[in-house]
């Protein structure tokens, strides 16, 4: 059984090669999803966005290419390639493509730690 999907195992890959920026679109590819964690790759065209929402888990974003604007609790953060931002659970946040960009989202959910 594979817990991580949509990516070759035992093969070196560039995450940026796994998603493509598409004109006027938000593209996503789920790599893992269960009650403890969610790992998703995204590619945003410039000007695309995901409106304000929140999550029950802590969300960590790592920008792989380009620049995105992540607004967390009303405060905008420009996150560039190679940079990471943690958005705390329960805090409203939004994502906007300042330019075309690719990023990795890892969400760790509290119910994954229950015994």
User: How confident is the model over 74-84, as a mean pLDDT?
Assistant: 98
Report whether 35 contacts 112 (CB < 8 A).
yes
pTM recorded for the entire structure? 0.93
User: For residue 108, what are the CA distances in angstroms to 9, 32, 36, 49, 103?
Assistant: 22, 11, 6, 22, 16
CA distance 69 to 76: 6
**For the chain, which domains are there?**
28-110 (2.60.120.10)
Residues 32-50 pLDDT 10s: 999 999 999 999 999 999 9
Residue 6: Cβ within 10 Å count = 14
Report whether 61 contacts 70 (CB < 8 A).
yes
| Residue 113 confidence class, pLDDT cut points 50, 70, 90 | confident
- Closest alpha carbon to 6 in 35, 36, 38: 38
How many Cα atoms within 13 Å fall on the side-chain side of residue 75?
8
């Amino acid at each position: 059984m594979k817990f991580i999907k949509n990516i070759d195992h035992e093969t070196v890959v560039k995450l940026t090669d796994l998603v493509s920026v598409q004109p006027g679109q938000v593209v996503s590819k789920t790599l893992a999803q269960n009650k403890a964690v969610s790992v998703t790759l995204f590619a945003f065209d410039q000007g695309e966005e995901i409106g304000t929402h929140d999550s029950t888990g802590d969300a960590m974003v790592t920008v792989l290419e380009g620049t995105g604007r992540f607004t967390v609790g009303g405060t905008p953060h420009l996150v560039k390639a190679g940079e990471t931002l943690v958005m705390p659970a329960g805090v409203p946040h939004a994502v906007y493509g300042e330019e075309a960009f690719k990023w990795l989202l890892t969400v760790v959910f509290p119910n994954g730690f229950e015994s």
